[in-house]
């Protein structure tokens, strides 16, 4: 009897050791995978990333040597517009859900709507944008169509982040504000939001990274063409004015997809890899900025 | 510690006909509280509170003392599905009536919580925020008001050199006095205190009790919930004993502790249950 | 000074309006996609059974009866195939690393593995598609023959893409198992792995299922990365290594080609509607699991 118990214990211990080994290996594989992906993209695109002609040049349809200048600008401009539109909307919706939402059907509808929006494939959001903004409203393939499609894509992300940030502020802060005769609005704006700023800022920047790399929602809204941009042109109605929101605007991510699906550009691989490397570097930069800024703001808040 | 006209106070606190006494600042008449799904937390509470007096609410945990306290400045209205029955009058007016501005009510009836909860700001801004939001904009006025309230909370000497430092750098006792100062800055005539010393050490507790007595001397009506019977005996003029959602017995503090009538109160005071 | 009651009212209205805008956009989306998607059946007269069970997708050809060949089964089957296969690939890695982070090495997990997983989430899907195209497809071609495009390659790419989602949700699920369960098991003399296998994982099962379903939601809805490596042949996915198709890839390629209002275009919207309904179905399943889990865990 003692022997079988001892044997059982030994077997259990061996199992434990093997299992632990497998788990460590699994974690290692994932870290190695990420490293491999990042290194592969950066190395294969290295030659183009540091080439100013690539970064500022016009894309080519049929010849080699195309650049990504307009696409780079379009990506950032679209990001800026999307953040300008989606941040106040998301902030308002999140504050409503946390502070005001009465426990009724309307609130449950809002919560369900945002949950549905967060699970929608981005291609479906893009197709809706195509149907509604491009066709029904008649705006055509344009920056504004793309920005609104991206806003719909971004709202659930931001609402969740801001909601969590507000709920993480201890409730006695709110109680203190209300007990001093402040309204819920004043309590939220002057007490809760300042306390939640580090988490909110981090969330906004991380969402910016997701928006920057999004392509499926833009193919049929902002379009796949990149008109030549003339930075000295301030006529907002002109197709070559960079700030004109009614013009089509291919972004970096869409560009990668487009040239690979068309497959006619001779230096396809080089351009793809270069564009991907630039895209990845920007996304990594957003990630680092979010972490860094989040930590700095946290420290400032605690120390002040 | 007790006033000379204690008999008049004693007689006026629990009128048999449940008519609010004219010279009480706050009167609770047959107050009950129901939470979601008709869970009753409080029933049939009749109490009066007067200017310049400290009224203590004692009783075992979970018997409704804090719930009752939070009715007095309508903090319970912030809880969804919380229903309050009966009537609470402040200066003779029903606090739940549409004519009574909720926000003005809370300026005049201040509250200090169990855990010190200063805002994540400087000491100065903790006090100035509410003043600013209520309309005080001039820097001179704000400076004067901050100093006045910090002096009233006996905190001025300790923090006058670091007004713009973080409130979180203060000790627990200092933070609680800051919370008191923050409330006093709005010149309330009633201050509600929900176990203000339970998170503090004895020395800080002593400082707060001194502040309470000073506030009462200036004419502020204080209602304090406390778990600590000795504290109730030290600090309060009248005491009310709550048990299982009912206000069982109330009266002058000395009589409550020396000659309690209700058996449950006797048991509580003698420590048979806590 | 503005009276406080007005401040409160304005605040409530402004924030309520923001919430309303988001809600209205979603409702409009569902309505418009449904309207165009159902037109195939109601306006153009395509039979639903022919649509859902037909295996030939060639809208510009007509069959003997004169109606276009719009069998969507290849796309539906393809979508399910890549979704299920990718989640099969992901499951051991996601749960393994989640167990590692929570049970074995929380310090390393929090400092290294979790940032790694967060970074993986941030990588754009086109980049995954590109790597799939330039690395995975040639590699698969090398040992499986054929073109290298197909369900297998797409599933591999999708597996890497949904890994971060499933892993972080799995970490949450395992971390929320109360310590008292673990202590009870250790108190009975179990070693760590027995505790993990018999107690922790079993108790975290609803959360883990949610993690997998949400991973499937992402995989089902991924468009570009899949489109770049699946081969885009509108045929039933008979083998893992021949070109196939999914709902998302057909939509990505086809929507720009057909004029609005034509029966071919309406058929594409029907595919979009199927995609939408599947996403809603996934959310529903997650809710049901959560409710069941709450009931059994008390």
pLDDT tens profile C253-279? 888 776 777 777 888 888 999 999 999
Nearest-Cα distance to chain A for B238, in Å, is 24
Please determine, for residue B247, whether its predicted confidence score (pLDDT) is greater than 60: yes
Does A128 share its domain with A9?
no
Enclosing H/E stretch for C139: helix C137-144
Decide if A190 and B129 are in contact by the 8 Å CB cutoff. yes
Minimal CA separation from B129 to chain A, in Å: 8
A197: pLDDT strictly greater than 70:
yes
Q: What is the mean pLDDT of residues C63-73?
A: 76
Whether A225 contacts A255, CB under 8 Å: no
- How many domains does chain A contain in total? 2
Q: Which residues of B230-243 are buried (b: 16+ CB within 10 A; e: fewer)?
A: ebbbbbbbbbbbbb
Same domain, A102 and A169: yes
Q: Are residues A200 and A271 in the same domain?
A: yes
Q: Does residue A134 contact residue C232 with C-beta atoms inside 8 Å?
A: no
Token couple for A90: 């998301």
* CB < 8 Å to B117, chain A: 170, 172-173, 175-176
What is the C-alpha separation between A26 and B239, in angstroms, rounded? Answer: 65
* Highest mean pLDDT: which range of A121-125, B255-259, C230-234: A121-125
Interface touch A100/C12, C-beta < 8 Å: yes
Cα–Cα nearest to C18, from B187, A16, A94: A94
Q: What is the structure's pLDDT at B5?
A: 39
Residue in chain A lying closest to B179 (CA)? A176
**Does A118 lie in the same domain as A202?**
yes
Q: State how far the Cα of C258 lies from the Cα of C262, in Å rounded to an integer.
A: 7
Structure tokens, A126? 């893009």
Task: Judge whether residue C82 has pLDDT over 90.
Answer: yes
**Could you tell me if A130 and A267 lie in one domain?**
yes
Cβ neighbors of C167 (< 8 A, separation 6 or more) are A30, C93, C94, C97, C98, C117, C211
Pick the residue from chain C with its C-alpha nearest to B132. Answer: C1
Which of A149-163, B29-43, B74-88 is predicted most confidently? A149-163
The residue range of the domain holding A14 is: 1-49
What is the rounded end-to-end Cα distance, in angstroms, of chain B?
Answer: 26
Mutate to test the interface with B, among A165, A166, A173, A176 (most CBs of B within 10 A): A176
Q: How much is the ipTM here?
A: 0.89
pLDDT category at A1 given cuts 50, 70, 90 is low
Mean pLDDT of B110-132: 93
Q: Are B191 and B113 in contact (CB under 8 A)?
A: no
* Contact predicate B101/C5, CB 8 Å: yes
Q: Which of A202 and A64 is assigned the larger pLDDT? A: A202
What integer pLDDT is reported at residue A303 of this predicted model?
65
- A96 and A194 housed in the same domain: yes
Tell whether A70 and A25 lie within a shared domain: no
Mean pLDDT of chain B: 86
pLDDT for res B55: 93
Angular region, A181: left φ>0, alpha ψ -120 to 50, beta rest: left
The residue-averaged pLDDT of C134-138 equals: 91
Contact C26 A253 (CB under 8 A): no
Q: Quick one: A30 and A78 in the same domain? A: no
Q: What is the pLDDT of residue B140?
A: 93
Q: Same domain for A63 and A210? A: yes
Q: Of A175, A181, A194, which has the smallest distance from its Cβ to B130's Cβ?
A: A181
By C-alpha distance, the chain A residue nearest C278 is A120
Q: Would strands B54-58 and B221-225 be described as parallel, antiparallel, or unpaired? A: parallel
Percent with pLDDT over 70 in chain A: 99
Structure confidence by residue, pLDDT tens digits, B42-86: 888 899 999 989 999 998 888 889 999 999 999 988 888 888 889
Task: Check whether residue A162 and residue A264 sit in a common domain.
Answer: yes
Which CATH number characterizes residue A200's domain? 1.10.3720.10
Do A225 and A167 share a structural domain? yes
Q: A176 contacts in B (CB within 8 Å)?
A: 113, 117-119, 179, 182
pLDDT at C61: 73
pLDDT in tens, C83-109: 999 999 999 999 988 888 888 888 888
CB A167 within 8 A of CB A98: yes
Q: What pLDDT is stored for residue C118 in this prediction? A: 83
Residues B101, C1: C-beta atoms closer than 8 Å: no
B105: nearest CA partner in chain C: C4
Residues A11 and A96 in one domain: no
Higher-confidence residue: B161 or A60? Answer: B161
Name the neighbours of A, counting chains with at least 3 Cβ pairs within 8 A.
Answer: B, C
In this structure, what are the phi and psi dihedrals at residue B20, rounded to the nearest 5 degrees? -65, 140
Mean confidence (pLDDT) of chain A: 89
User: Is-contact A199 A168, C-beta < 8 A?
Assistant: yes
Q: Which residue has the higher pLDDT, B105 or C197?
A: B105
Looking at beta carbons, which residues of chain A come within 8 Å of C228? 257, 260-261
Terminal Cα distance for chain A, rounded: 67
Domains of chain C: 73-260 (1.10.3720.10)
- CB nearest to B119's CB, from A102, A173, A181: A173
Residue B9 — pLDDT band, cuts 50, 70, 90? very low
With vertex at residue C54, the alpha carbon angle to CA C51 and CA C57, rounded to the nearest 5 degrees, is 85
Reported as a single tens digit per residue, the pLDDT across C3-17 is 878 888 898 999 999
Q: Which chain B residues are Cβ-neighbours of A193 within 8 angstroms?
A: none
DSSP string across B233-245:
HHH-SEEEEEETT
Whether the pLDDT of residue B88 is over 60: the answer is yes
Domain boundary among A49, A65, A88: A49
Rounded to an integer, what distance in angstroms lies between the CA atom of residue A283 and that of residue C128?
14
Q: Which of C1-10, C26-35, C64-73, C138-147 has the lowest mean pLDDT?
A: C64-73
More confident residue, A101 or B151: B151
Q: What is the pLDDT of residue A200?
A: 94
Contacts of C292 (CB under 8 A, 6+ apart): C206
Kindly state whether B274 is in contact with chain C, defined as any CB-CB distance less than 8 angstroms. no
Tell me the percentage of chain B whose pLDDT exceeds 90: 50
- Given a contact cutoff of 8 angstroms between Cβ atoms, the answer to whether C15 and A93 are in contact is yes
Find the helix or strand (DSSP H, E) in which A276 lies: helix A268-303
The band of C297, judged by pLDDT with boundaries at 50, 70 and 90, is: low
Is B186 in contact with B219 (CB distance < 8 Å)?
no
Which pLDDT value is given to residue B22?
45
Q: Where are the beta strands (DSSP E) in A41-143?
A: none
pLDDT of residue A216: 93
Residue with tokens 């994540």: B120
Residue % of chain C over a pLDDT of 70: 97
Chain C residue nearest residue B134, CA to CA? C1
Q: How far apart are CA A202 and CA B67, in angstroms?
A: 38
CA angle C32, C33, C35 (to 5 degrees): 60
């Amino acid at each position: 009897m003692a022997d079988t118990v001892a044997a059982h214990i030994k077997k259990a211990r061996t199992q434990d050791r093997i299992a632990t080994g497998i788990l460590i290996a699994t974690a290692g594989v994932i870290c190695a995978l990420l490293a491999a992906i990042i290194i592969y993209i950066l190395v294969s695109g290295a030659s183009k990333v540091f080439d100013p002609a690539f970064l500022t040049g016009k894309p080519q349809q049929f010849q080699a040597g195309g650049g990504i200048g307009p696409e780079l600008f379009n990506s950032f401009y679209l990001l800026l517009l999307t953040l300008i539109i989606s941040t106040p909307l998301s902030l308002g919706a999140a504050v409503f859900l946390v502070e005001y939402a009465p426990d009724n059907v309307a609130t449950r509808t809002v919560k369900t709507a945002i949950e549905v929006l967060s699970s929608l494939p981005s291609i479906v959001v893009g197709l809706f944008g195509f149907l509604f903004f491009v066709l029904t409203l008649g705006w055509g393939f344009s920056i504004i169509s793309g920005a609104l499609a991206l806003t719909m894509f971004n709202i659930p992300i931001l609402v969740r982040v801001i909601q969590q940030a507000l709920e993480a502020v201890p409730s006695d802060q709110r109680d203190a504000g209300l007990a001093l005769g402040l309204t819920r609005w004043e309590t939220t704006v002057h007490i809760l939001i300042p306390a939640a700023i580090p988490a909110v800022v981090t969330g906004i920047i991380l969402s910016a990274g997701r928006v920057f790399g999004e392509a499926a929602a833009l193919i049929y809204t902002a379009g796949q063409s990149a008109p030549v941009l003339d930075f000295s042109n301030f006529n907002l109605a002109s197709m070559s004015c960079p700030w004109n929101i009614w013009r089509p605007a291919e972004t970096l991510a869409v560009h990668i997809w487009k040239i690979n699906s068309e497959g006619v550009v001779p230096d396809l691989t080089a351009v793809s890899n270069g564009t991907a490397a630039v895209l990845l570097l920007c996304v990594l930069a957003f990630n680092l900025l979010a972490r860094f800024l989040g930590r700095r703001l946290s420290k400032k808040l605690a120390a002040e | 510690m007790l006033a000379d006209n204690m008999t008049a106070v004693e007689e006026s606190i629990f009128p048999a006909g449940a008519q609010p006494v004219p010279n009480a600042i706050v009167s609770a008449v047959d107050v009950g509280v129901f939470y979601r799904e008709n869970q009753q937390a409080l029933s049939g509470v009749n109490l009066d509170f007067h200017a310049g007096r400290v009224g203590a609410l004692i009783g075992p945990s979970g018997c409704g003392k804090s719930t009752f306290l939070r009715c007095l400045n309508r903090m319970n209205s912030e809880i969804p599905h919380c229903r309050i029955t009966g009537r609470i009058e402040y200066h003779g007016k029903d606090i739940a009536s549409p004519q009574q501005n909720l926000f003005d009510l809370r300026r005049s009836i201040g509250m200090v919580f169990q855990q010190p909860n200063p805002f994540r700001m400087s000491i100065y801004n903790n006090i100035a925020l509410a003043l600013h939001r209520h309309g005080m904009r001039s820097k001179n006025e704000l400076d004067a008001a901050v100093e006045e309230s910090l002096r009233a909370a006996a905190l001025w000497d300790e923090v006058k050199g670091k007004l713009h430092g973080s409130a979180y750098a203060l000790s627990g006792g200092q933070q609680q006095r800051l919370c008191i100062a923050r409330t006093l800055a709005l010149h309330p005539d009633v201050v509600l205190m929900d176990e203000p010393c339970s998170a503090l050490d004895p020395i800080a507790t002593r400082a707060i009790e001194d502040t309470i007595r000073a506030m009462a001397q200036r004419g502020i009506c204080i209602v304090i919930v406390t778990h600590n019977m000795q504290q109730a005996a030290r600090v309060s003029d009248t005491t009310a004993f709550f048990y299982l959602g009912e206000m069982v017995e109330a009266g002058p503090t000395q009589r409550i502790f020396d000659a309690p009538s209700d058996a449950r109160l006797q048991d509580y005071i003698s420590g048979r249950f806590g | 000074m503005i009276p406080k009651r007005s401040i409160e009212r304005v605040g409530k209205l402004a924030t309520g309006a923001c919430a309303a805008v988001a809600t209205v956009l979603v409702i409009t989306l569902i309505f418009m996609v449904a309207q165009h998607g159902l037109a195939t059946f109601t306006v153009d007269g395509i039979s639903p059974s022919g649509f859902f069970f037909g295996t030939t997708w060639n809208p510009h050809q007509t069959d003997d009866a004169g109606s276009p060949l719009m069998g969507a089964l290849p796309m539906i089957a393809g979508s399910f195939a890549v979704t299920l296969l990718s989640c099969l690939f992901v499951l051991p890695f996601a749960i393994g690393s989640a167990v590692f982070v929570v049970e074995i090495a929380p310090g390393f997990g929090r400092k290294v593995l979790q940032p790694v997983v967060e970074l993986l989430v941030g990588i754009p899907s086109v980049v995954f598609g590109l790597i799939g195209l330039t690395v995975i497809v040639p590699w698969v071609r090398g040992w499986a023959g054929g073109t290298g495009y197909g369900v297998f390659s797409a599933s591999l790419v999708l597996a890497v893409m949904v890994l971060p989602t499933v892993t972080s949700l799995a970490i949450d699920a395992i971390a929320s198992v109360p310590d008292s369960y673990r202590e009870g098991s250790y108190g009975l003399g179990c070693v760590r792995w027995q505790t993990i296998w018999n107690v922790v994982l079993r108790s975290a099962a609803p959360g883990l299922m949610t993690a997998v379903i949400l991973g499937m939601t992402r995989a089902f809805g991924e468009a570009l990365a899949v489109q770049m490596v699946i081969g885009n042949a509108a045929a039933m996915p008979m083998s893992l290594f021949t070109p196939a198709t999914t709902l998302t890839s057909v939509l990505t390629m086809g929507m720009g080609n057909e004029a609005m209002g034509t029966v071919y275009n309406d058929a594409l919207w029907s595919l979009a509607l199927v995609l939408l309904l599947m996403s809603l179905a996934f959310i529903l399943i997650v809710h049901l699991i959560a409710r069941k889990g709450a009931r059994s865990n008390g």
